[in-house]
Amino acid sequence: MPNLILPPPWRTPECQITPESLYLQAISRRSCLKLVGLGGLAAMGWLPACSQPVSEAEFSKNPKNYELSDVDRQVYPADHNATFVLDRPMTDEHIAAQYNNFYEFSEAKDDVWQRVGGFQPRPWTIAVSGLVKRPQQLDIDDLFTIMPMEERVYRHRCVEAWAMAVPWTGFPLKALVEKVDPLSTARFIRFTSFHSPQVAMGQRGYGPWPYTEGLTMAEATNELALLVTGIYGHPLPKQHGAPLRLVTPWKYGYKSIKSIVAMEFLAERPATFWNTLIPHEYDFVANVNPRIPHPRWSQDTERMIGSDQRFPTQYLNGYQEWAGLLYA
């Protein structure tokens, strides 16, 4: 079972009442990661993280987990959109690349980057269907050449109370929505990740696989919603959700679905992965909000991965200027 988003409720209290000092003395790095709940406590800042990321030099000796195709050479570096600025230092690339939520590959965060080798993000198509005038199968490289690519720095806030700040490359989701021309009856979009239990071991366990997420049409066409193809000026490494993922920075990170294979335009609100698994802990809307604690922890502050610096959590993750009107 994963460590924080979904600790089995019948075991979590034991973890929480065990004194921190006992944990730290008794638990080695690997067994620590296997203990359901502990990594999550660390993520919340209640315990030090169980494992340290390898250094930048050490990390660079490993495969990058992305390749530069001819199309990519035309895309990167994309023009930087200066509208979006950070209030804190950028997260180091090797830190972000070693701390990932991608439950298809691992329940721990620190080894996803080492488990994605067998995953092939090319060739790749995205099926657009449902209530649209132009349903289609989009080849990912064709899509990249026609979409208005740009780079944006965004803060990313996980529901587990860790955060990062990274430069994404991508294009507004709105541009794709306009291209497929939704019918007036379309009120939601459901996004679906790949399903391949042969390469994604996590998909052999609890589900409901594949991972799915959803947005209202108003959210999907908000300026902030980005379909992301790259990070730090190059294509997405597999652990970040190659070849295409969603980024909605005013929402908790679980909405930012990785490795998308399908988008369906629907009249009714779709079922989504976490909301189906634990509806009372992970709601469909998932807006960042320090005033609404998670049932098992506070959302008042967030810990930046890498530095462990803490910041007060802001309503809509500080993106009220753009997303605020959606919920007025």
| One of 66, 84, 103, 171 touching ligand MTE (CB under 6 A) | 103
- Regarding 254 and contact with ligand MTE (CB under 6 A), the answer is yes
- Regarding 155 and contact with ligand MTE (CB under 6 A), the answer is no
Instruction: Enter the tokens of residue 102.
Output: 């991608």
Task: In angstroms, give the least distance from the CB of 26 to ligand MTE.
Answer: 28
Residues 323 and 325: their CA atoms lie apart, in Å, by 6
Beta-bridged to residue 260, according to DSSP, are 193
Q: Report CA dihedral (38, 96, 91, 257) to the nearest 10 degrees.
A: -90
- Regarding 170 and contact with ligand MTE (CB under 6 A), the answer is no
Cα 135 to Cα 22, 132, 177, 220, distances in angstroms: 57, 6, 11, 17
| CB count in 10 Å sphere of residue 54 | 15
- Regarding 297 and contact with ligand MTE (CB under 6 A), the answer is no
Task: In angstroms, give the least distance from the CB of 3 to ligand MTE.
Answer: 11
Of 97 and 149, the one with the shorter C-beta distance to ligand MTE is 97
Of 115 and 131, the one with the shorter C-beta distance to ligand MTE is 115
| One of 249, 253, 270, 318 touching ligand MTE (CB under 6 A) | 253
Phi/psi at 33 (5° precision): -65, -25
| One of 155, 190, 234, 258 touching ligand MTE (CB under 6 A) | 258
Task: In angstroms, give the least distance from the CB of 5 to ligand MTE.
Answer: 6
Site for ligand MTE in 41-60 (CB under 6 A): none
Site string for ligand MTE, 193-232 (x = CB under 6 A): x-----------------x---------------------
- Regarding 158 and contact with ligand MTE (CB under 6 A), the answer is yes
- Regarding 257 and contact with ligand MTE (CB under 6 A), the answer is yes
Helix, strand or coil, per DSSP, at residue 115 = helix
Residues 287 and 301: their CA atoms lie apart, in Å, by 15
Cis? peptide before 290, omega within 30° of 0: no
- Regarding 284 and contact with ligand MTE (CB under 6 A), the answer is no
Specify the stretch interacting with ligand MTE by CB under 6 A; choose among 19-27, 71-79, 97-105, 168-176: 97-105
Cα 91 to Cα 94, 165, 176, 270, distances in angstroms: 9, 5, 29, 33
Specify the stretch interacting with ligand MTE by CB under 6 A; choose among 114-122, 144-152, 181-189, 250-258: 250-258
| One of 94, 155, 190, 240 touching ligand MTE (CB under 6 A) | 240
Instruction: Enter the tokens of residue 261.
Output: 């294979």
Phi/psi at 245 (5° precision): -135, 170
| One of 3, 65, 91, 100 touching ligand MTE (CB under 6 A) | 100
- List, in sequence order, the alpha helices (H) in the chain: 12-17, 20-26, 29-34, 38-44, 56-59, 70-75, 93-96, 112-115, 140-146, 173-180, 217-220, 273-277, 320-323
Q: How far apart are the first and last CA of the chain?
A: 37
Of 99 and 188, the one with the shorter C-beta distance to ligand MTE is 99
| One of 101, 169, 248, 317 touching ligand MTE (CB under 6 A) | 101
Q: Which of 219, 157, 222 is nearest to 188 (CA)?
A: 219
Cis? peptide before 208, omega within 30° of 0: yes
Write out the residues near ligand MTE by the rule CB under 6 A.
5, 100-104, 158, 193, 211, 240-241, 253-254, 256-259
